[in-house]
Chains A and B, each alone.
Chain A
Amino acid sequence: MSRVFKALADPTRRQVLQLLRRGPMTAGDLAEQFKVTKQTMSAHFAVLQAAELIESEKQGRTITYRLRLSVLEDALLAFAQTVGMQVKRDDESVQSSVPRTEES
């Protein structure tokens, strides 16, 4: 469960989950939504996969990600989004990232 909380503590990862709520998306399509490097995005995907919140499927050179949230995890995501849950950057295993929507 701590992996789930860690995964949900980052706004970028929460935004990835929000995007996947609409349906499965490729890694490229997801990465386009954020102003971060591919490595950073891969790290975010890895954290989400380790927490079993998303699943990936490889078809040729394309990786498709899709949501794998239980109802409880879905409710936790909504709660985290509402209260803006966030851990200190020092505790994070991935680099700082800013979604494109928050660009100045």
Chain B
Amino acid sequence: MTERPASSPITRSLITAALILVSSAALALASPAYLSADLAQRLFGIMLGAVVVLYANAIPKALIPLARMRCDPATEQGLRRFTGWALVLGGMGYATAWLFAPMTSAWILAIALLGTALLAVLLRYAWVVYAKRSS
């Protein structure tokens, strides 16, 4: 059996971008007539969370050639893995908040969860930079 050739990253990114735009437009069009505004907002939030999860999942797989690396390869690898995990969990939290939380608090909970993940990533980067400078 022959393997299907993998599409290029640019093609995949363009397809993903097109899907996001089409889904957003479809939700906006369907909002007053077929979907309530709340449901459309929830679906959009879930979709955004899923996109974050999708992209964050691939972060540890994107490698820089060792020769071009400016810091310790083990540290760089640790940072990439931490960023991937934090953003995947943050994205899942964002989507879950839009899925289950009451409408009045969904947006704030979703942003708080994703924001915490982003903050954790920034703090980890800052810690690595600080440790490198002080050593």
What mask results when residues 43 to 87 of chain B are scored 1 for a CB within 8 Å of chain A, else 0? 000000000000011111101011100001111011001001100
Closest CB in chain A relative to B2 CB, distance in Å? 14
A66 CB–B CB distance under 8 Å = yes
Known contacts A57-B65, A57-B66, A64-B66; A70 and B57 CB within 8 A of each other: yes
Chain A residue contacts of B73, Cβ below 8 A: 23-24, 66
Chain B residue contacts of A59, Cβ below 8 A: 66-67
Contact B57 A69 (CB under 8 A): no
Contact A67 B65 (CB under 8 A): no
Known contacts A24-B66, A64-B66, A74-B85; A69 and B60 CB within 8 A of each other: yes
A35 CB–B CB distance under 8 Å = no
Partner of A24, one of B67, B77, B84, B85: B77
Partner of A23, one of B56, B77, B84, B85: B77
Closest CB in chain B relative to A62 CB, distance in Å? 11
Closest CB in chain B relative to A8 CB, distance in Å? 15
Q: How large is the interface on A (under 10, 10 to 19, 20 to 34, 35 or more residues)?
A: 10 to 19
**Interface set, chain A 54-83, CB cutoff 8 A to B:** 55, 57, 59, 64, 66-72, 74
Contact A55 B60 (CB under 8 A): no
Contact B81 A70 (CB under 8 A): no
What mask results when residues 28 to 57 of chain A are scored 1 for a CB within 8 Å of chain B, else 0? 000000000000000000000000100101
Chain B residue contacts of A72, Cβ below 8 A: 57
Contact A71 B85 (CB under 8 A): yes
- B-side residues, CB < 8 A to A, are 56-61, 63, 65-67, 72-75, 77-78, 81, 84-85, 88
